[in-house]
Amino acid sequence: MSKSLQAIRGMNDILPEQTPLWRYFEGTVARLLDNYGYKQIRMPIVEFTELFKRSIGEVTDIVEKEMYTFEDRNGDSLTLRPEGTAACVRAVLEHGITGGGQVQKLWYIGPMFRHERPQKGRYRQFHQIGLEVFNLDGPDIDAELITMTWRLWGELGIRDAVKLELNSLGTSESRGRYREALVEYLSAHHDKLDEDSQRRLKTNPLRVLDTKNADTQAVLVDAPKMADYLDDESRAHFEGLKSRLDAVDIPYVLNPKLVRGLDYYSKTVFEWVTDKLGAQGTVCAGGRYDGLVEQMGGKPTTGVGFAMGIERLVLMLETLEQIPEEISRQVDVYLCAFGEEAELAGLALAERVRDQLPNLRLQVNAGAGSFKSQFKKADKSGALYALILGDDEMAQQVVGFKPLRGQGEQQSIAWDALAAHLATCVVQG
């Protein structure tokens, strides 16, 4: 196939054999969010470029080098969203739904776009489920977000493989004081820093903490600690969060170097990390962003949220073999009919059964075929039972009921009794 007719590098098709696991994952998260009282919001995939520059920050990796930005036919600069928070804040402001201190607990799901180097767990189109809470400023809601994800890992069977890392970035004032101290220290060791960190020292010094370079990491060992610069309020908030996590027995490690890649965070930041996915180890990340709404032109409105990467979590489920058995079977019953008259009767019978058992996964053979070929398809479909309509069955107004997975002999069931019979032998999801 010519290259121009292939998918764009780093943008993947999710094939039919993969979608059951995606739907299981997404369904599990959606149910959990419903149960905790969060409401879904859906934003456009494209926004004005300015929105992301203003919210994410001009000197972040995302805005500097990862955005898909283009001019539309009006000459407006538009960008495929690289994350969800900016658009969510834009939406709540535009519709006034956080005004007057109204609490909003929102979540969203969908594709995000970043021009990164594609590799396992890192793509150019990837998918997130994200969540944002507005106008709740205490550590109780930070704790709820973390507790909810902890429950999710439990439900998915991956709790033992993830670890919670926590830090507090303080208010913008205390962070400013820390930034000064850090810059002073790092400037004194300028020659020992890697090139990227030397550049970041000028543009976004806190990001130096995040370096993967061993020499720079060595310099950082004796660097000033953010915790020593926290203001009293942020310190109390952080203690409040930790005591709540202790109360529900959620383990965490403090990571003073956790700064996150976006400018808008304050106070709590956290990441759920795993060592099961190689270098792309963060499966869920977030924090508090109390200044963002105001920075974007709204009234002071606190916010806290997180986003999880669906590709990475689906990979986790595969790697840890936490794939529930029921999702691999898509068909309960497969109906085979031989001859035109049987096919018509089969169609009517199938619809009657579907009326009575709306959750039954009943597949009717299409494309006719010999006895042998229809049975082969029935078996391949994964169905538990085949229903058979041939000349004999037509004459007696019955249907052959044949277990395909070795659960007993074939029997004949009267058409009228079929739905009741199926109800007793197929567990309906």
From CA 195, how far away is CA 143, in angstroms rounded? Answer: 38
- To the nearest 10 degrees (0 to 180), the angle between helices 139-156 and 19-35 is 140
- Among residues 89, 141, 283, 304, the one that binds ligand ATP under rule CB under 6 A: 283
Angle at 44 between CA 4 and CA 130, to 5 degrees: 100
Biggest CA-to-CA distance, the chain:
95
Closest CB 306 distance from ligand ATP, rounded Å: 8
Residues that bind ligand ATP (rule: CB under 6 A) add up to a total of 19
- Distance from chain centroid for Cα 226: 30
Q: Which is nearer to ligand ATP, 274 or 381 (CB)?
A: 274
* Piece of 13-21, 122-130, 291-299, 399-407 that binds ligand ATP (CB under 6 A): 122-130
x-or-dash pattern for ligand ATP, window 231-270, by CB under 6 A?
Answer: ------------------------------x---------
Sequence-distant (≥ 6) Cβ neighbours of residue 93 within 8 angstroms:
293, 296, 297, 298
From CA 163, how far away is CA 150, in angstroms rounded? Answer: 10
Q: Which is nearer to ligand ATP, 282 or 322 (CB)?
A: 282
Closest CB 276 distance from ligand ATP, rounded Å: 13
Closest CB 284 distance from ligand ATP, rounded Å: 6
Q: Which is nearer to ligand ATP, 306 or 375 (CB)?
A: 306
Q: Which is nearer to ligand ATP, 308 or 360 (CB)?
A: 308
Q: Which is nearer to ligand ATP, 126 or 375 (CB)?
A: 126
Radius of gyration over every alpha carbon of the chain, rounded to an integer in angstroms: 28
x-or-dash pattern for ligand ATP, window 303-332, by CB under 6 A?
Answer: ----xxx-xx--------------------
Q: For residue 132, what are the CA distances in angstroms to 91, 293, 301? A: 12, 12, 12
- The residue with its CB nearest to ligand ATP is 309
Alpha helices in 14-171 (DSSP H): 19-35, 49-56, 61, 85-94, 139-156
Residues that bind ligand ATP in the complex, under the rule CB under 6 A: 83, 114, 116, 121-123, 126, 128, 261, 280, 282-285, 307-309, 311-312
